[in-house]
Structure 1
Amino acid sequence: MRPLTVLQAAAAAVVAARLARGRRRPAPLRPGLSGPPPERVSVVVPARDEESRIGECLAPLLSDPAVGEVIVVDDESRDGTARLAERLGATVVTGAPLPDGWVGKQWALHQGVQAAKGPIVVLLDADTRPKEGLCAELAALLGSHDLVSAGPRFICGGALEQALHASLLATLVYRFGPIGPSSPIGPRGPVRREAAVERLLVNGQCMAFRKARMAEADGFARVRHHLTDDVALGRLLARDGWRVAFVDAGPLLEVDMHTSAASVWREWGRSIALRDVTPAGRLAGDLAVVWLTAALPVLRLAAGRPTPLDLGLLAQRLLLVAALRDSYVQPGPGLAASPLLDVATAVRLTWSALLPARSWRGRAYGRAYGPDHGRGRGPAAVRPAGRSAPPVRSAAR
């Protein structure tokens, strides 16, 4: 048997084991299951140049009886974000200038959580579309968890955008398994091994925790240099003993992250490798899994020389397409065509791993941020990226 075949078979077994965990996924969050939260809930939304879309995030929150206050941290926006948020009824915190050593989103969240009056804090990105009931259900989960992260349903503007997005999403499933483990990582969870913490995912678009516990942990300050801030925070707190869970909130949360396929390629692709929170050996293994089980079968099929294992992997990929339907507000032909882009996605994943981006939201960060933190002489000063930097459509950073 050829070495490549042996490696592909081993990678296929790993992916099959990860996908099998999907059978134990709990049901998605739904409204009204838990009743009103027993304590006040503060929602914090970090925002930098979000005038065009923050209204769709704030309006449902401001009318939700479970939400005690909505705080928008205006992170030095250059548009009318703060004015719009105030007009809608949110409390606007004017963000202080970004200190050296901090990435923008963590600094905004640090200020927003400090300003929150409620004992329960929910973090939401400005591109999310929450529905009534989301915050109540997240608050209820804090009875058995310390940090709750929620996965949304995605809004895609066209077939090509959805195809590329679904292909990138598939790489996360192949590398980490399905969203929504049945048990949290933590003192009373099934595992505490470092290996399990290294595979932990959270979604920074939506998180909930108790303010006092986060203040004690000083979580945002401790991950202030990370560009993949959400996963860095979740893994840090899990190592501290926090019970961390990632749940499916699709019926209660939608997100419109991007404006086009080019935007997906540029913006989500920049961080999809999770380089700054993944050890080099593990990252190499992740790349090998994606190339061997997703890209190679498509390449061989295109060449007219697929092996039986390739055909089995292609069939598995089509089953994943069906499983991902509930991850999209309007699943369409783009989702069905997503396996055709798996080679391009493997290229983007490799690019993200080898040449990580260090600019975001008009700010550029030195090599001491993200994957190179601790290797240089300390965080370089943040500098403006200039007006030639491409616009982005994700969370403030």
Structure 2
Amino acid sequence: MTGFSLFFLLLQVPSTLVLLKRLSTARDRTAPLLPLANSDETLAKQNPQVSIVIPTLNEIDRLPTCLEGLRDQAAKEIIVVDSRSQDGTPEYVQKLQQDFPIPLKLVTDDPLPEGWVGRPWALHNGFLQSDPTSTWVLGIDADTLPQQGLVASLVAQATANEFDIVSLSPKFILKTAGEQWLQPALLITLIFRFGATGDRTQFTEDRVMANGQCFLSRRAKLVELNGYELAKSSFCDDVTLARAAAQRGAKVGFLDGAALMQVRMYTSMGETWREWGRSLDLKDASTPNQTLADCLLLTAVQGLPLPLLISLLIWQPTASLPTSILFWLNVFLVSIRCLLTFGIRSSYTEVGFWFWLSPLADPLAAIRIWISALTRPKSWRGRNYT
């Protein structure tokens, strides 16, 4: 048993030190974004600088809510880039065009070129079709529910901080028990690897984070980067583009936007596992060594603590010093995870009983990241890839 304990201590002790360093700077993170004062928002609407791009593929169930939230935003135009949806999405956009308060354009992006993933190709087409006089291009996903003042507040923050690219983390909407149990565990994998949203003290150029659900770029910077070309084959195009831009000297920000946007990404535990889980490894934006290190870290501090603690309690091995240290180390790691459950509560509109049991899903979350890291998606957002 001593050899068993030493093996896990060699894995967990260094990983715990890394985790504590990442969590220790959370208190210094940038404050969450808030809506602007009414006078500032009115001024922004009088001089809109933003082209909004929404990629769609069979989004008729989600797009109406997104567009309704954008109806009163400070935008110059909205470009819906559709990939030949079969559910009535383009017809719905055409019906809105005449009376929508912001110019609403519909673009079809097919055919998909060799080497491109559908989402970055749609965003690239939206950028190419955007008004060249716009200062900013804002990519918004159809599952996003923009809150009042989103665009004006985001642009004001980006301008004040001289960001070239800035994206926001949302407030999540979870409805089913399975979602409330699994999704927070998957979200924690990001915090363990990259720290709290808005914490820029930990970001190097190759570790910056981003969220494509609300991704604002200076149009001049996209021109310099040749649009989304650098992320064309990535299944996490948001992080890939942000890191590529940072490595070329761009100033990139990732901020807490829970007060300005909500998202209903998936509708079940199974869909959350399949769809979100397959891109959370971020291997397309990382080196193989970074991906391996992240997977080992998650195994040590998120996947193993609960199983190890239960095993030690059930079998009650001889209390050697290494075994005692291993036991209390994992008590410590499980305690941190439970405290983080309270810490991420503000990232959700409402929670139920199963949310508070999400630490029990941590081993599954770590396994999901490993599966994603070792495989490449064969389908994504309604498209199949060979």
TM-score (norm 2): 0.88
CA contact (8 A) 2:48 2:76 kept: no
1:307 alignment partner in structure 2: 327
- Measure the CA separation in 2 of the matches of 1:279 and 1:210: 27
Asked if residue 226 in structure 1 is aligned to residue 242 in structure 2, the reply is no
2:68 match: 59
Q: Match for residue 365 of structure 1?
A: 385
The correspondence of residues 178-189 of structure 1 with structure 2, limited to 5 A, is: 178-182=196-200
CA drift at 1:15? 0.6
Aligned residue number for residue 259 of structure 2: 251
Distance, in Å, in 2 between the alignment partners of 1:277 and 1:41 is 27
Q: 2:83 aligns with which of 71, 75, 89?
A: 75
| Secondary structure of the structure 1 residue equivalent to 2:148 | coil
1:179, distance to aligned residue in structure 2 (A): 1.0
CA pair 178-281 structure 1, distance change in 2 beyond 3 A? same
| CA deviation after TM superposition for structure 1 residue 101, in Å | 1.7
CA distance in 2, matches of 1:51, 1:39: 27
Aligned counterpart, 1:137: 153
Number of the residue aligned with 2:19:
15
1:344 to 343, 352, 364: 364
Separation in 2 of the partners of 1:134 and 1:116? 20
Matched letter for residue 187 of structure 2: L
Structure 1 partner of 2:28: 24
Give 1:252 shift. 0.7
The CA deviation string for residues 117-150 of structure 1, in whole angstroms up to 9 with x for no partner, is 2322211000000012010011112321100111
Q: Distance in 2 between matches of 1:277 and 1:53?
A: 28
Work out the CA distance in 2 between the residues paired with 1:343 and 1:202.
25
CA distance in 2, matches of 1:184, 1:97: 40
Which whole-Å CA distance do the structure 2 matches of 1:170 and 1:352 have between them? 16
Q: Which residue of 2 aligns with 1:128?
A: 144
Q: Provide the secondary structure at the position in 2 that maps to 1:142.
A: helix
Query: Would the aligned equivalents of 1:58 and 1:88 in 2 still touch at CA under 8 Å?
Result: no
Gaps of 5+ in 1: 186-195, 367-397
Of 166, 188, 195, 1:177 maps to 195
CA distance in 2, matches of 1:288, 1:222: 28
Contact 1:119 1:212 in 2 (8 A): yes
Counterpart of 2:342? 322
How far does the alpha carbon of each residue in 1:150-174 deviate from its partner, in whole angstroms, 9 at most, with x for none? 1101111222212200000111111
- Could you tell me which runs of 5 or more consecutive residues in structure 2 were left unpaired when the two chains were aligned: 98-103, 314-325
- Would the aligned equivalents of 1:124 and 1:206 in 2 still touch at CA under 8 Å? yes
1:294-328 CA-to-partner distances (Å, cap 9, x unmatched) read 12111023324370000001111111111100111
Residue 110 of structure 1, aligned match among 115, 124, 130:
124
Aligned to 1:162: 180
Alignment-derived partner of residue 392 in structure 1 = none
Amino acid at match of 2:191: V
Amino acid at match of 2:152: A
Residue of structure 2 in register with 1:101 after alignment: 115
**Which amino acid in the other structure matches residue 335 of structure 1?**
F
Q: Partner of 2:319 in structure 1?
A: none
Structure 1 residue 4: deviation in Å?
A: 2.1
Secondary structure of 1:197's counterpart equals: coil
Indicate conservation of the 8 Å contact 1:184/1:244, yes or no.
no
Indicate the structure with greater helix content: 2
Per-residue deviation, residues 83-120 of structure 1 (Å, max 9, x unmatched): 11222333211223111121111111111112222322
Letter in 2 for 1:7: L
| Rounded Cα–Cα distance in structure 1 between residues aligned with 2:142 and 2:363 | 31
CA–CA distance in structure 1, aligned partners of residues 202 and 165 of structure 2: 9
Q: Could you tell me the percent identity over the aligned residues?
A: 38
Q: Distance in 2 between matches of 1:209 and 1:278?
A: 21
Alignment of 1:281-296 (within 5 A): 281-296=289-304
Q: Deviations over 1:218-275 (max 9, x none)?
A: 1302221112211110000001100000011101100000010000001011111112
Q: Which moved more, 1:205-214 or 1:354-363?
A: 354-363
Displacement of 1:39 after TM fit?
4.2
Alignment of 1:34-45 (within 5 A): 35=41, 36-37=43-44, 38-45=47-54
Shift of 1:184: 10
Aligned match of 1:380: none
Q: 2:165 aligns with which of 129, 141, 147?
A: 147
Comparing 91-100 and 36-45, the one that deviates more: 36-45
CA shift in 2, pair 1:347/1:184, >3 Å? closer
8 Å CA contact 1:76–1:97 kept in 2: the answer is no
Question: Aligned partners of 1:183, 1:281: CA distance in 2, in Å?
Answer: 22
- More off after superposition, 2-11 vs 317-326: 2-11
Residue identity matched to 1:49: N
Across the aligned residues of Structure 1 and Structure 2, the Cα RMSD in angstroms comes to 1.7
How much has 1:216 moved relative to structure 2?
2.2
Decide whether the 8 Å contact of 2:51 with 2:136 is kept in 1.
Answer: yes
User: What SS class does the counterpart of residue 357 from structure 1 fall into?
Assistant: coil
1:18 maps to a residue whose letter is R
Contact preservation (8 Å) 1:145, 1:184:
no
Q: What amino acid is the match of 2:91?
A: R
Q: TM-score when scaled to structure 1? A: 0.85
2:316 alignment counterpart: none
The higher radius of gyration belongs to 2
Aligned 8 A contact 2:26 2:195 in 1:
yes
Number of residues paired by the alignment? 355
